[in-house]
Structure 1
Amino acid sequence: MTAVVSHGSKPHEARITVEVPVLRVGAGPSDYEGLNRFVQSLRKPQGLHMTLLHIGILDDLGRDIAAWTKGLSPSEKTLPEIASWLTELPVLQGFLGKSDKLIPLGGGRLMGLEVDVPQEVHDYQALLVQGLHVLLDDLGLDNIDDFILSSPALGYRSPRWLPHIAVGKARTRHEPEMEIDPVAIEFGDSQIRNREALPLP
């Protein structure tokens, strides 16, 4: 699934994601810095990551669920269960991917590396989405696919997950896909971004 994620949130508005950190792009720093010629502003390599599942701001998700269930599943019930589910997820071990293409993201505001990843990464991401479906069903939601695609908190625009790493701001809103010299990408173990913002079970 593809989600639109904004950055610079206040601590109490922390966006929760399951993601893998980028440990290395190419053979060294110069391989990543070389992407600077394709974007207006290249992100710092220390913060690069690939999102596997976007949950969003928990308070907003709680309100979305309460509205969808017409108050039958209030936030005080759903948020601890969501937090418990997230913290019990299995960890995806680090892996290697590769990229030979830059693509527009976020309606053309960003550019990112489209990444070829091993099949086990696709399987893990599918497991996350299936688990989210089961969780939402347990929380009393119906028409779960419709909820996922319409929830402002979750922020999904497409049911298809495209492995990618946002690397910088696009030079214009109409940048095309661009072929680049192939680069290997090393990823670390999966983790929960802003885990400290989760409510205690």
Structure 2
Amino acid sequence: MANRPRGGWDSTTQTAPPITVEVPVLGVGAGPADYEELSRYVFALRRQRGLHMTLLHLGVLDDFCRDVADWTKGNTRADSAMLRTVAWLEALPVLEAFSGSAESLIVLGSGGVCGLEVDVPASVHDFQVYLVHALHELLDELLVDNIDDFILSSPALGFRSPRWVPHVAVGRPLHRGRGPWEIGQVGVDFGESRIRNRQHFPQLP
């Protein structure tokens, strides 16, 4: 594997981007004007075309596999972890398209981004729980012990909380404070799940 600093993805060269399982946003509200209304709350509103909801963040594959190798003290080599992880990703089932709704904007992480908090069907929550369970199974196969500790401490995975909040990041908050900000209910339509940056998977033998 390339000896590359962690988080060294250069968006201009499109090398080593993070891998996520996500669902694309197909529409917000009744039309573009409903989404553009969010500019009352959000600075530099993101383009609607690229909006998505992340179901599972795996991170840069090189980094993830190095985390596994470090955690297992070399019992699982990084190249072996890469082979198994890519095969695991390719075998994940697909979540069908669905619709949800949003009534408020919430602040995410350290406060630099806000997003629509989305009410989604129970089946979506179930699928996200399945993904986390499947990740546990993968890590068990990779000989990772104390799996919950690994998930919460792996820089590649970047988990900050065991609780998943369905949301769509839309831009930086225009107003100070932690929110939430009520926006009135809007529908949000999502496409079927996909693996973001799948085209950057390494070529496997």
Structure 1 residue 74 corresponds to structure 2 residue 69: no
One of 60, 75, 78 as aligned partner of 2:63: 60
| TM-score of the pair, normalised by structure 1 | 0.94
Pairing 1:1-16 to 2, within 5 Å after superposition: 9=11, 10-16=13-19
State the distance in 2 between where 1:200 and 1:144 align. Answer: 28
One of 25, 30, 35 as aligned partner of 1:32: 35
Larger RCO: 1 or 2 (CA < 8 Å, sep 6+): 1
State the distance in 1 between where 2:152 and 2:25 align. Answer: 27
| TM-score of the pair, normalised by structure 2 | 0.92
> Paired residue for 1:178?
181
Structure 1 residue 142 corresponds to structure 2 residue 145: yes
Give secondary structure in 2 for the equivalent of 1:11: coil
> Paired residue for 1:97?
100
Alpha-carbon distance, 1:179 to partner: 1.0
Give secondary structure in 1 for the equivalent of 2:145: coil
> Paired residue for 1:115?
118
> Paired residue for 1:166?
169
C-alpha distance 6-173 of structure 1, shift in aligned 2 (>3 A): farther
Contact kept in structure 2, 1:108 and 1:173, CA below 8 Å: no
Alpha-carbon distance, 1:106 to partner: 2.5
Contact kept in structure 1, 2:106 and 2:181, CA below 8 Å: yes
State the distance in 2 between where 1:6 and 1:125 align. Answer: 28
Superposed CA offset, 1:46-103 (max 9, x none):
1000000000000011111111001111111001111111111111000000000100
Contact kept in structure 1, 2:25 and 2:189, CA below 8 Å: yes
Contact kept in structure 1, 2:9 and 2:15, CA below 8 Å: no
State the distance in 2 between where 1:55 and 1:121 align. Answer: 18
State the distance in 2 between where 1:62 and 1:38 align. Answer: 39
Structure 2 gap ranges (5+)? 1-6
**Poorly superposed stretches of 4+, deviation over 6 Å:** 5-8
State the distance in 2 between where 1:50 and 1:191 align. Answer: 11
Alpha-carbon distance, 1:180 to partner: 1.1
Alpha-carbon distance, 1:172 to partner: 5.3
C-alpha distance 7-22 of structure 1, shift in aligned 2 (>3 A): farther
Structure 1 gap ranges (5+)? none
One of 151, 156, 159 as aligned partner of 1:153: 156
Alpha-carbon distance, 1:143 to partner: 0.4
Query: How many positions carry a matched residue from both structures?
Result: 197
